[in-house]
Structure 1
Amino acid sequence: MTGIDYEAIPGNSHLVNIGNEKSEKQIVLIPTPSDDPNDPLNWTRRRKWLAVACVLIYTLGVGVPSAAIYSVLTDIQEHTDITLTELNNGTGYMFLFFGLGCLVFQPLALQFGKRPVYLFSMLATAMICVWPPYTKSNGEWIASKILQGFFGSSIESLPEISMSDLFFEHERALALSLYGLTLLGASYLAPFVAGFISQGQSWEWVMWWCAIFGAVCFVLLFFLMEETNYDRKLKVDSETGQPITMASRSGVLSGVFSNIDGVMDSENSVEKNDINLNVQESPSQLQAIASAENANVHNQASNVEAVVSGTYVPPPKKVKTFVEKLSLFSGKKDKFLLHHYAMAPFFMARFPVVLWAGFLYGSSLVWFNVLNATAALILGGKPYNFSPSIVGVAYLSPTIFSFLLFYVSGFFSDWLKVRIAVWRGSGLSMPEDRLWVLSLYCILGTFASILWGVGAYYEVHWFGLVFGMGLLGGCGIFGIASSTTYVVDAYKELDTEAMVVVILVRNLMSFAVSYGITDWVVNLGYKKCFISVAFICFGCNASFLLMVYSGPWWRNRQKHMYWSLVERYRKLGMH
């Protein structure tokens, strides 16, 4: 192949090479890594997980200030002229601009690098947290929330792309679930701590401590975060057509390119360090990795060079020094393409797979907003009469459930993707394979909604409410991990642009619900409101069945449109 294969179905891949013997089954690395040690896919395990830690620090730094006020809304209402409805409306505007801001900062990250955008977003969020304690009117409150959402909008779409920069297809659910866990953990732990701060120091100090926390996160990111923008150049063997990669992979990708038995943990599993590469090293210390028969590297990257692996000697490449990693310009594109990056998400909105992923993500956040908007109202009201600090303690429940369900959404999702590829007998993997984990969300989410709302109506024991609160909040990780991995798996070549569409859909839904949640609960009452919430939650999550059967059809139907878009952007130098 010398160009893009327009007949390839986006997202379909031969994830597992199936041999005659079980020991010959191997996971295929998708996307194909280059032979450059500075390629994020080739980073050492320590370097990769430091990059992940930085993304999670950023998520905490922006996520904590966005959720810290949930347990002290009644305190803010008492000490200002702002009503509870207006406070929730301000939160809705914040989430709206969390989405709209992606249209600005995502193109900037692609043009100038992710590292400077992360740093600017973190610093601006820390500074804007100083303003809310001085607000006395609804207009000031909304303005502060709009700016907080706009400057912090990178939290919505950049972490997912950073994870896809670092990890292969069969690892993404674990990495993205870690992001989802951190996002939910920040959202639930922040109100817990804020309740005690408000009781001991006043609600104003809640935001001032958020500003201090944000400043600390900025310093950590400045010295530890590394740029993951990378222009991948692939080389293939001119005789075999197989990609050329780094020779010694066991130390670099331990547990990544592995014997399938080790991943499946079957009865024939090998030791984790017993990595079977099934290739021969050449004198040039390069090798052609095992690859699926139909893998077309021209679909994965625009810069592909054919070389003779036996004689090719690559130019020496050194790992970046610490000072080089601190550069704010290493991810900058040589050509100015900002206007093209800004328009690209609108073209990705033509793909139903992307729109549905945004709907799934949005519906998950809807229940999160419903929970946050009613927690202080239900637990702080009769007959429970929880103080703000105790309402904050109740947020430990969704935090615990988020950790428990993380293992299902992360490890099980990656396991399921590999397992289904093996079950098919051909090693074929499809993005829809991961969506089956949402069947658990359908059951648990419906049960939790009824327990939380109907339980409040009948004034059940507080433990039942806290249990329902935790289960409903923890289930959100299913929506985060499933929607993001689905989009990245389906349209990896343009995942950054697609993710902007996902976040826009998600946050528009969140804004609509945040704007009307108080009236919804007050007018319908807890019982009717949360019975409707339960069935809407079930319907939204059960829609995954529609995508399991229609998703492959849509991806096949729109493959020519997608690859033509990929080719167009590559000719412009965008990818």
Structure 2
Amino acid sequence: MVFLGILEDKHLQHVPATVVLAEEERERTEATAGLKHGTGKNADIILIPQPSADPNDPLNWPYAKKLVIISIIAFGSVLYAAVVAPLLSPALVVISQEFEKPVGEITVISGYMLLVTAASGPFASAFSRKWGKRPVLIVSSIFGLLGTIIGSATTSYEGLTAGRIIQGGSISAFESLVISMIGDLFFVHERGVFMTLIQFILAAASNFSAIIVGAITTSLGWRYLFHILNIFAALEVILLILFVPETTYIRDHRYDIDELAEDNLKDLSSVEKRHANTNVGASGDDGVTKVETTTSVAPALRPKKTFVQELAFYNGTFSDDNLFQLLIAPFAVCLNVTVLWFVIVTGVLSVFFVAQSYAMAQIFSAPPYLLTAAGVGYLSIGPFVGGLLGAFFMGATLDPLIKWCAKKNNGVYEPEFRLLGMIPSILTGTGLVLFGYMCQNHFSVYATATAHGMDLFGIVCATVACSAYIIDAFRDMSSEIFISNMLLKNLLFYGFSYFVNDWTAKSGPGIVFYVFAAIAFGMTLSTIPFFFWGKKYRSYWHRHNLLEKWGIRTHAEF
């Protein structure tokens, strides 16, 4: 039995995704001594995946360059995944009055946008696998800019609908590809902080925008939401073109030591040691110990791309698969039970939070609260703080936690250790119960905002823990998994936009959020079997992979 009761597998010599992560220098074995390790305080950490010697390999880029790239991508996620989707939420009542439409019909406009987001997801996945992420991100940002320009110029309900639909074409890439880019640039032991940042943006940063959106709507009018967004959308297009090169890279598969079913560390290590050149132990400015080998001589001799060369829109083809296969892969990965669980849990928990934003203006613009659009926006301070605390908590604890667990487990890392981060997600159901009860009984807005923050704290913990787990457990399917996750979430967002407001008006917020809370508690408790039996299922899936039997190839982005 593995540390903390994770059940051991008896069928494979090495279960994929179970890796040696931590080792003390005095305990370094022949099987791992020649592998590339981190430096400084991470000198006992084996780099996963192992980087090649190619200077154009994103894993070998200077750390400062990686931070610039991920910052620009994160900025795009803020704009399109965090700001655009809930952009009109605090202004729903104001817009409905101007266009003389029910609040529900204004809510559905955003639903149409999210439907486009869901429908475009498989295409973003397929095109990025075929031709790389850079062209997909640039085209997506242009869609976002164009839709924002239309929204800022419209004077009709139909024009607003058109602008929002076009904006929908920008969201899927910044919800899914951004996550996979973390793995393009960073090693396993570095990903927790960046995964937490992105999940915070996707789950919680929209609350900060709601605070600003409400104030702008009250002071300047809702069209200024689009006027101001135009500036930032144009800036993102420029930054993407100039400073975000292609991060997709085809690396020798033998270095993907976390995907292999046969533990070949000893052979790989001996090759590394035997052919290491005089630069063994040289440390780059990205904090990685470089080891050159004969297997990596050709990559090492490749010239480093210039700044102008990295600006290329097209960088060749990265997959020989046909587009149809690439399009169906995000649906096929859900045949894996763990993947299906991840998609459902994170999708359902996220939609509960979005449902709260749909109902906010309806609940708090009515008596006894009678809040303006700005007042409704200010209520988002509660969930923003809750999400921020959740992000800080997970960022500070998740990577250290899995390193500690690996050391307790004789240096062996199991992806299931990540699921310990699901424990605080019990606050999701607790917060939803309190929010519904307080709104139903007209508690103080400060109390309702606190409850709102509590449930978002739990949602952030759940999404970060589950995402990190699924990446590490099934890295070979990571690209398709996150597209599938994004697709389900946005379909749920679209579906909920049709009935949440009417259900809240008919039954009251108490009943609505009690139902959500009960489901949330069930989602959290469903983690237990995946924690204890997850390793056994990873072995089972490797031995009975339906996708391989049906000839459907999947792709690792991490």
Which TM-score applies when normalising by structure 1? Answer: 0.82
Q: Is the 8 A contact 2:89 2:210 kept in 1?
A: yes
> CA, structure 1 residues 377+500, in 2 after alignment: closer, same or farther (shift >3 Å)?
same
Superposition pairs for residues 486-501 of structure 1, below 5 Å?
Answer: 486-501=469-484
TM superposition shift of 1:238: 7.7
Cα deviations across residues 54-102 of structure 1 (Å, max 9, x unaligned)? 2112112213122211111111111013311122233233333322211
Change (3 A) 1:573 1:185: closer
Q: Which moved more, 1:150-159 or 1:108-117?
A: 150-159
Give 1:190's match in structure 2, choosing from 209, 220, 241: 209
Alignment match, 1:54: 72
Q: How many residues align?
A: 520
Kept in 1: contact 2:175–2:202 (CA 8 A): no
Paired AA for residue 33 in structure 1: P
Give the equivalent residue in structure 1 for 2:150: 131
Please, which of 34, 56, 63 is the counterpart of residue 45 of structure 1? 63
- Residues 1:240 and 2:270 aligned together: yes
TM-fit CA distance, 1:24? 11
- The question of whether the paired residues in 2 share the 8 Å contact of 1:160 and 1:484 is answered with no
Going from structure 1 to structure 2, the CA distance change for 1:13 and 1:567 (only over 3 Å counts) comes to farther
Deviates more, 1:498-507 or 1:485-494: 498-507
Kept after mapping to 2: 8 A contact 1:421/1:429: yes
- Following TM superposition, by how much is the alpha carbon of 1:567 offset from its aligned partner in structure 2, in angstroms? 12
Q: In the alignment, which residue of structure 2 is the partner of 1:213?
A: 232
Provide Cα deviations, 1:164-203, integer angstroms capped at 9, x if missing partner: 1111112222111111222345411222212122122211
Matched, 1:394 2:379: yes
Task: State the match for 1:550 in structure 2.
Answer: 533
Match of 2:116 among 73, 76, 97: 97
Matches within 5 A, 1:299-310: 306=295
Q: In structure 1, what residue type is equivalent to 2:210? A: P
Alignment match, 1:320: 305
Q: CA separation in 1, counterparts of 2:554 and 2:331?
A: 19
1:330-383 Cα deviation digits (max 9, x unpaired):
254385743332232233121111111111211221122122012212222222
Residue 339 of structure 1, aligned match among 296, 319, 324: 324
8 Å CA contact 1:7, 1:559 repeated in 2: no
Spell out, residue by residue over 1:416-435, the C-alpha distance to the aligned partner (whole angstroms, 9 max, x if none): 2111111122x222222111
Alpha carbons of 1:482 and 1:135: their partners in 2 closer, same or farther (altered >3 Å)?
A: farther
Give the 3-state SS of the residue equivalent to 1:10 in structure 2.
coil
Partner residue of 2:405? 420
Matched, 1:120 2:146: no
**Aligned position for 1:251:** 284
The structural deviation recorded for 1:488 is 1.4
- 1:26 is aligned to 44
Tell me the residue number matched to 2:454: 471
Whether contact under 8 Å (2:145, 2:167) holds in the other structure is no
- Aligned position for 2:516: 533
For 1:256-285, what per-residue CA distance to the aligned partner results, in whole angstroms no more than 9, with x for missing partners?
x6xxxxxxxxxxxxxxxxxxx7xxxxxxx8
User: Equivalent residue for 1:83?
Assistant: 102
Q: 1:334 to 1:343 in 2, by over 3 A?
A: closer
What code does the residue aligned with 1:457 have?
Q
Q: Distance in 1 between matches of 2:549 and 2:18?
A: 16
State the partner residue of 1:286.
291
Higher helix share: 2
Tell me if 1:506 matches 2:489: yes
- CA distance 1:247–1:477, shift in 2 (3 Å): farther
Query: Structure 2: which amino acid aligns with 1:240?
Result: S
State the distance in 2 between where 1:234 and 1:203 align.
52
Normalising to structure 2: TM-score of the pair? 0.84
1:170 corresponds in structure 2 to 189
> Which residue number in structure 2 is paired with residue 261 of structure 1?
none
Counterpart-to-counterpart distance in 2, 1:490 and 1:417: 13
The alpha carbon displacement at 1:287 in A equals 5.1
- Of 419, 428, 439 in structure 1, the residue corresponding to residue 423 of structure 2 is 439
**SS in structure 1 opposite 2:100?**
coil
CA distance in 2, matches of 1:406, 1:346: 29
**Cα distance in 2 for residues equivalent to 1:24 and 1:333:** 32
CA contact (8 A) 2:121 2:483 kept: yes
2:378 corresponds to 1:373? no
Q: What is the distance in 1 between the residues matched to 2:108 and 2:555?
A: 42
Distance of aligned partners of 1:190 and 1:18 in 2 relative to their CA distance in 1, 3 Å threshold: same
Aligned residues of 1:371 and 1:473 also touching (Cα < 8 A): no
2:284 is aligned with what amino acid? G
- SS of match in other structure, 1:472: helix
Instruction: Quote the Cα distance in structure 1 between the aligned partners of 2:480 and 2:342.
Output: 13
In the aligned structure 1, how far is the partner of 2:392 from the partner of 2:549?
A: 34
1:350 pairs with 2:335: yes
Question: In the alignment, is the contact (CA less than 8 A) between 1:431 and 1:490 conserved in 2?
Answer: yes
Q: CA deviation at 1:121?
A: 0.5
Distance 2:529 2:554 in 1: 35
In structure 1, what is the Cα distance between the partners aligned to 2:555 and 2:434? 54
**Counterpart of 2:418 in 1: which secondary structure?**
helix
Q: Is the 8 A contact 2:54 2:299 kept in 1?
A: no
**Contact 2:181 2:557 survives alignment (8 Å):** no
TM-superposed deviation, 1:407 = 2.0
The aligned counterpart of 2:18 is 12
**1:374 & 1:534 partners in 2: Cα distance?**
16
Paired residues of 1:229 and 1:331 also in contact (CA < 8 A): no
Provide structure 1 residue ranges, at least 5 long, that are not aligned to the other structure: 258-276, 278-284, 289-304
Structure 2 letter corresponding to 1:55: I
Partners of 1:81 and 1:136 within 8 A in 2: no
